[in-house]
């Protein structure tokens, strides 16, 4: 077998090449394994050439010791922010002039103006109040169910039935089945009649204002996508009903356990049947591709639970047996079914949250995160609507 040409040795072992220049930090010249003389091959890397952060490739773990946060995160600001508090919804006095809502937010300055406004504080206070209403309650627990709420649930059930009447078409691309547009068009055409199923006579004129919130709660028909902005519009629609006195505080538990749970059921069906794209997803660094509020309400359900802790999401038996009663577990179970690979890799934020000692801390942290990651984000809130019920101040 021939010697490699770079090996500058003759049979008499005469070494004609010069020694490499010496320096105070350079290692000794490499020696030939056959004759012991110096050779021209570069020296092997020594430990000092690798930083402590990045050891030699042979020692590099498959997944780096996880600091499960994206670059430039504002997590510290979220941690230091005060926990949002529940607030009573200020109801309107009749007669009231309703108006068609419009978009107002276009810049970070607009976001700051909104966040500092009473409209923002009252809306977020409503979300917190809904969260508190379901605290330590299972979905199936009995609660006050008004005729109005039962009618609202039947409206959402109608939207579920429409999916069965409008099957997805065969198409070559995976995401965004165009049959969703047919479903959404039917929603827009019938939305006013759907509202009239539960609006009292003295509030029928409110359709001009509440219909746009409602039709924007189920995704975007041109992009065929859905995200936390649409989910926030559904919460805003509920808030408008509360401002009109249609929803009262005594209804809040049923708003979450009956109305919102039915809404999530509808959205999951829309996502799976029509393959809706996630709108503005943070990818691996987000909480979830589509939702945020069920994590808030679901964590509230589990506060002070005797057996289930945040780390219980890693117990498959718990997920299978209790996901029908607890929204948080339902969300985790769905994620584990639709995403492949290790949970810590495709959902690092949720994996980190599972290490929090109790559900109360999880709930308060998620409320702060909802304000920072949804209500303070221009790409999401640029689509938010303002009228007479949620005013632009």
Beta carbons of 375 and 120 less than 8 angstroms apart: yes
Mean pLDDT of 55-64: 43
Between 3 and 289, the higher pLDDT residue: 289
Given a cut of 90, is residue 15 above it in pLDDT?
no
Of the pLDDT bands very low, low, confident and very high (cuts 50, 70, 90), residue 32 is low
Residues 361, 296: Cα–Cα separation, whole Å: 11
CB atoms within 10 A of CB 112: 11
DSSP string, 192-210: HHHHHTT--GGGGGGHHHH
Given a cut of 50, is residue 8 above it in pLDDT?
no
Predicted pLDDT at 225? 92
Predicted pLDDT at 80? 81
Given a cut of 70, is residue 94 above it in pLDDT?
yes
Predicted pLDDT at 285? 63
- Of 12-26, 88-102, 159-173, 184-198, least confident by mean pLDDT is 12-26
pTM value? 0.80
Predicted pLDDT at 157? 97
Between 40 and 323, the higher pLDDT residue: 323
Predicted pLDDT at 43? 57
Between 146 and 54, the higher pLDDT residue: 146
Predicted pLDDT at 14? 47
Predicted pLDDT at 40? 65
Of the pLDDT bands very low, low, confident and very high (cuts 50, 70, 90), residue 77 is confident
Predicted pLDDT at 192? 97
Predicted pLDDT at 176? 87
Q: Which ranges of the chain does DSSP label H, i.e. alpha helix?
A: 75-80, 108-115, 118-133, 147-165, 179-196, 207-215, 228-243, 252-254, 261-274, 293-301, 316-322, 327-338, 343-346, 348-353, 359-370, 378-381
Predicted pLDDT at 30? 57
Predicted pLDDT at 64? 38
Given a cut of 60, is residue 27 above it in pLDDT?
no
Peptide bond before 108: cis, by omega within 30 degrees of 0? no
Tens of pLDDT, residues 261-276: 999 999 999 999 999 9
Tens of pLDDT, residues 304-357: 999 999 999 999 999 999 999 999 999 999 999 988 889 999 999 999 999 999
Residues 3, 185: Cα–Cα separation, whole Å: 76
Q: Which letter, b or e, does each residue of 48-75 get, where b requires 16 or more Cβ atoms within 10 Å of its Cβ?
A: eeeeeeeeeeeeeeeeeeeebeeeeeee
- Of 162-166, 174-178, 385-389, least confident by mean pLDDT is 174-178
Tens of pLDDT, residues 191-249: 999 999 999 999 999 999 999 999 999 999 999 999 999 999 999 999 999 999 999 99
Q: Which residue has the tokens 């977020």?
A: 124
Given 3-state DSSP classes, what are the helix, strand and coil percentages for the chain, each rounded to the nearest 5? Answer: 50, 5, 45
Predicted pLDDT at 393? 83
Beta carbons of 80 and 74 less than 8 angstroms apart: no
pLDDT, the chain, mean:
85
Given a cut of 80, is residue 71 above it in pLDDT?
no
% of the chain surpassing 90 pLDDT: 71
Mean pLDDT of 93-121: 95
Predicted pLDDT at 76? 73
Of the pLDDT bands very low, low, confident and very high (cuts 50, 70, 90), residue 36 is low
Length of the chain: 393
């Amino acid at each position: 077998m021939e010697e490699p040409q770079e090996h500058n040795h003759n049979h008499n072992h005469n070494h004609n090449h010069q020694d490499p220049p010496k320096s105070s930090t350079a290692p000794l010249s490499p020696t030939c394994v056959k004759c012991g003389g110096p050779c021209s091959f570069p020296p092997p890397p020594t430990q000092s050439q690798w930083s402590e952060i990045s050891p030699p490739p042979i020692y590099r773990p498959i997944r780096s010791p996880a600091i499960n946060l994206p670059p430039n995160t504002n997590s510290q600001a979220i941690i230091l922010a005060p926990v949002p508090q529940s607030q009573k919804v200020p109801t309107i006095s009749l007669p009231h002039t309703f108006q068609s809502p419009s978009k107002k937010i276009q810049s970070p300055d607009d976001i700051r103006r909104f966040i500092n406004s009473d409209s923002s504080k009252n809306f977020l206070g409503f979300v917190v109040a809904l969260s508190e209403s379901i605290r330590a309650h299972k979905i199936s627990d009995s609660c006050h169910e008004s005729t109005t709420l039962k009618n609202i649930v039947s409206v959402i059930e109608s939207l579920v039935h429409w999916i069965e009447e409008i099957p997805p078409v065969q198409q070559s691309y995976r995401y965004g089945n165009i049959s969703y547009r047919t479903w959404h068009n039917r929603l827009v055409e019938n939305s006013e009649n759907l509202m009239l199923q539960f609006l009292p006579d003295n509030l029928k004129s409110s359709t001009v204002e509440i219909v746009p919130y409602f039709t924007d709660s189920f995704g975007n028909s041109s992009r065929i996508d859905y995200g936390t902005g649409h989910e926030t519009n559904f919460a805003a629609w509920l808030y408008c009903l509360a401002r009109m006195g249609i929803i009262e505080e005594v209804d809040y538990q049923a708003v979450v356990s009956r109305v919102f749970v039915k809404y999530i059921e509808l959205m999951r069906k829309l996502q799976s049947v029509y393959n809706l794209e996630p709108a503005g997803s943070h990818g691996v660094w987000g909480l979830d591709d589509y939702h945020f509020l069920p994590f808030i309400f679901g964590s509230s359900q589990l506060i002070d639970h005797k057996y289930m802790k945040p780390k219980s999401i890693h117990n498959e038996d718990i997920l299978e047996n209790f996901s029908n009663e607890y929204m948080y577990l339902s969300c985790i179970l769905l994620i584990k079914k639709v995403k492949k690979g290790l949970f810590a890799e495709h959902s690092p934020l949720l994996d980190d949250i599972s290490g929090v000692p109790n559900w109360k801390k999880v709930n308060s942290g998620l409320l702060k995160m909802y304000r920072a990651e949804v209500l303070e984000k221009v790409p999401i809130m640029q689509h938010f609507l303002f009228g007479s019920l949620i005013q632009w101040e």
